[in-house]
Copies of this chain bind each other. A is one copy, B any other.
Amino acid sequence: MEVQPPEGRLATGCGAREILDRIADKWSLYVISLLGERTLRFTELKRGIDGISQRMLTVTLRALERDGLVSRTVYPVMPPRVDYTLTDLGRTLLETVTTLVGWADRNLEAIEAARADYDTRAQALRALTEGLPD
């Protein structure tokens, strides 16, 4: 993978925005992270992603499959068995996604502190404005 000289600044105007919106949502990030470790079945993914509903997992997996990031293998057995794994393209995303997820994990407290601080200030400001004439 070489450097892309003609890129330079962000292509905010082009179709990259739509792509980003697809892959950079919380469920997709977690699916990619988990599949980065190994191939998983539907239920394993569901158990691995706390709080995801069956519907959202299905929707997310279909979108990732459509985008060519995840491949889906159906075994015609009873009970059914479906394996999900990252494609080569999907694997090129893995490092970035892992970094991002790790960042969120490490900076959880800092962000929550910032929020508490912001909320306190906002409330203090509101108290000052309270009952003031227009």
Contacts and interface: CB of A to CB of B under 8 A. Distances in A.
Interface of A: 1, 4, 7, 9-17, 19-21, 23-26, 29-30, 33-34, 37, 48-51, 65-69, 89, 92-93, 96-97, 99-108, 110-115, 117-119
Contact of A105 (B7, B48, B67, B105): B7
A96 B100 contact: yes
Contact of A115 (B23, B66, B96, B101): B66
Contacts of A68: 110-111, 113-115, 117-118
Contact of A118 (B37, B49, B66, B99): B66
B104 A20 contact: yes
Contacts of A23: 104
A101 B20 contact: yes
A94 to B, nearest CB: 11
Contacts of A30: 10, 12, 17
